[in-house]
Amino acid sequence: MNGTRESSAELAASICSSAPFRCDVVVIPPVIYMQKVSGLLKGESVLMGAQNVNSYEQGAYTGEISAPMIREFGCSYCLVGHSERRMLFGESNETTVAKIETLLKYQIQPILCVGETIKQRNSGHTVQVVSDQLRSVLDFFSPSDLANALIAYEPVWAIGTGETASPRVAGEVHGSIREIIRGKDQNLADSMRILYGGSVNPSNAYSLMSEVDIDGALVGGASLSSIDFIKICNLAGEN
């Protein structure tokens, strides 16, 4: 919940001026700025996502945004299960599954966020927490359903805190995530892109994305600076 119409447009225009990149780039503005941002994006060079969606397609859900609404603006991706939605708004694994089901119907690629709190990490429950969040989705959908989905591992303790999981620690969790997916389907595990999110910045992006199972970044605070975001995109293209 950052920015204004003007600042969002400036960010999008600056990012597009550096396109094309050697990696896939998605910008995810607040929904009320989607129309403005979508008019600035360069076709397939920079795509757009949504920060949230309701699982219902229409109805008496005042204040909510549906998949067909965001699709109208050319939205290609949507975050689901973000830690802030889980922690602050009480969204459950079941809520996340319902949202993914609706997104797939409208051919919007879900970015499923999973991750643990500092208490869960300190008690040694990281893999169990992430596994529970992930399996709720893997058990509901077929491998073909999830062919275009992405996973984002975002340790809650590293979001907006300046703390970042070390490349080794992040890489180990990403490896565990891939193994969990492999238990569902080998081809899905091989093709699934798993992103790291948690205080990613130009100083740590390259070392994080050099880990074998980290395929990209879900950029938070650093995305509010076009200079930093572009640097991260270029670093991603080097891996």
As given in the structure block, the two tokens for residue 159 are 């979001």
* Catalytic member of 91, 116, 154, 211: 154
H or E element, residue 196:
strand 193-196
Per-10-residue mean pLDDT of the chain, 239 residues long, equals 96 95 96 95 88 98 97 96 94 98 98 94 94 98 98 88 86 97 97 95 96 97 96 88
Residue with tokens 């809650």: 156
Contact partners, residue 119, CB within 8 Å, separation at least 6: none
Active site residue 154: yes
What is the spatial distance between Cα 188 and Cα 29, in angstroms, rounded to a whole number?
Answer: 29
Report pLDDT for 44.
Answer: 74
pLDDT in tens, 102-156: 999 999 999 999 999 989 999 999 999 999 999 999 999 999 999 999 999 999 8
What is the span of the domain harbouring residue 188? 5-236
Q: Would you state the torsion angle of the CA atoms of residues 68, 70, 74, 78, taken in this order, to the nearest 10 degrees?
A: -110
Starting at the edge strand found earlier in the chain, the sheet holding 150-153 runs 26-27, 47-50, 77-80, 109-114, 150-153, 193-196, 216-217
* Catalytic member of 44, 57, 64, 82: 82
Structurally, the chain folds into a number of domains equal to: 1
As given in the structure block, the two tokens for residue 171 are 């890489």
Cα–Cα–Cα angle for 2, 161, 200, rounded to 5 degrees = 75
As given in the structure block, the two tokens for residue 199 are 């205080």
Report pLDDT for 145.
Answer: 98
Gyration radius (Cα) of the chain, Å: 17
Residues 14 and 38 sit within 8 Å (Cβ to Cβ): no
Q: Name the phi and psi angles at 157, rounded to 5.
A: -70, -10
Q: What is the 3-state secondary structure (H, E, C) of 90-156?
A: CCCHHHHHHHHHHHHHCCCEEEEEECCCHHHHHCCCHHHHHHHHHHHHHCCCCCCCCCCCEEEECCH
Which amino acid belongs to residue 205? Answer: A
Residues 199 and 164 sit within 8 Å (Cβ to Cβ): yes
Report pLDDT for 164.
Answer: 77
Domain with 40 in it: what CATH number?
A: 3.20.20.70
